[in-house]
Amino acid sequence: MSGFVEKPEPVEVPGLEHLHTGKVRDLYRDGAGRLVMVASDRVSAYDWVLPTEIPDKGRVLTQLSLWWFERLTDLAPNHVLSTELPPGAPADWEGRTLICRSLDMVPVECVARGYLTGSGLAEYEQTRTVCGLALPEGLTDGSELPSPIFTPAAKAEVGEHDENVSYEEVARQVGAETAAQLRQATLAVYGRARDIARDRGIILADTKFEFGFADGELVLADEVLTPDSSRFWPADSWQPGRAQPSFDKQFVRDWLSSPASGWDRKGELPPPELPRDVVEQTRSKYVEAYERLTGMSWQ
């Protein structure tokens, strides 16, 4: 059992049609047919959307995505049209709302990996492959790969795991030409972002993108290169052979899996509220990622 501990009711705004409530984002359509994406402060872990929010998280994700989009436009156009609030929208939407082009979305999570960890490590330990791609012997948790690899996943519903799939499966689903476009764009954007992050003392271990088409053009969508969609590690403490410290919600995962939470991941009960110190530490990691990457102070 998984999903929302308590699914929030969508905010009603005149002129906006609510389309979807996701793990983090709420999606609306305005009268002009544009999409309105609102990033909440919700946080998910172990396939659950937790009952406790992380203050400012949605704004950090939105502002960091905008910062990255500006630096990637020559590699991949993006879906953002405006950051202005729709008329009648609540003040709390300020800084967390994007007005976007409506795209024909590709049903693939486009994952780029430059380092071995997570589900990729689990597969490697069994087969010496990741998504069917053969890798050298002797790699361990946190090892840098000989070159970045494209390891797509099938997009899952809220409460379910994304499932790694082979490149051949993606080509079968969306066609060989689109699959090739996805791989090329994913690795190009990852390479640019990896170099930018490295200059700021951060390792971009892996990340995932979503793409859609508009008038035949491949367009970068959703969020991009945030702590929710990427593994960012401090370069000065990188040490292969162990789990790396990261700029994300690891404090949440660690507490939920500890005896202090009293929660059984394999049981039927949903996870409990997060304690204040875990919330504050998690917020600080999101803010630190923003500040270190952009060089700007969080407002």
User: What's the confidence (pLDDT) of residue 268?
Assistant: 87
Average pLDDT, the chain: 94
**Does 193 or 154 have the greater pLDDT score?**
193
Please state, as a whole number, how many other Cβ atoms lie within 10 Å of the Cβ of residue 85.
Answer: 18
DSSP state of 161: -
pLDDT at 158 over 60: no
CATH 3.30.470.20 residue ranges of the chain are 104-234
For the stretch 35-53, pLDDT in tens is 999 999 999 998 899 999 9
Q: Where in the chain is the domain with CATH 3.30.200.20?
A: 12-102
Is-contact 79 219, C-beta < 8 A?
yes
Query: What integer pLDDT is reported at residue 86 of this predicted model?
Result: 95
pLDDT above 60 (res 160): no
CATH of 104-234, one of 3.30.465.10, 3.30.470.20, 2.60.40.10, 3.40.50.300: 3.30.470.20
Structure confidence at residue 157 (pLDDT): 58
Q: How far is 254 from 278, CA to CA, in rounded Å? A: 9
- What is the predicted pLDDT for the residue at 299? 76
Residue type, 290: Y
Lowest-confidence segment of 157-171, 237-251, 272-286 by average pLDDT: 157-171
In our burial notation (b when 16+ CB lie closer than 10 A, e otherwise), range 226-235 reads bbbbbbbbee
Strand partners, 173: none
Give the CATH architecture of domain 12-102.
Answer: 2-Layer Sandwich (3.30)
What is the pTM assigned to this prediction?
A: 0.94
**Residue at 120: amino acid letter:** G
Q: What was the pLDDT predicted at 270?
A: 93
Q: What is the pLDDT of residues 169-222, one digit of tens each?
A: 999 999 999 999 999 999 999 999 999 999 999 999 999 999 999 999 999 999
Q: Tokens standing for 269?
A: 């009960």
At residue 2, the pLDDT reads 66
Q: For a pLDDT cut of 90, what percent of the chain falls above it?
A: 88
Report the run of H or E that residue 70 belongs to, with start and end: helix 57-72
Segment holding 208, helix H or strand E: strand 202-214
Q: How far apart are CA 128 and CA 107, in angstroms?
A: 27
pLDDT attached to residue 161: 56
Q: Is 167 helix (H, G, I), strand (E, B) or coil?
A: helix
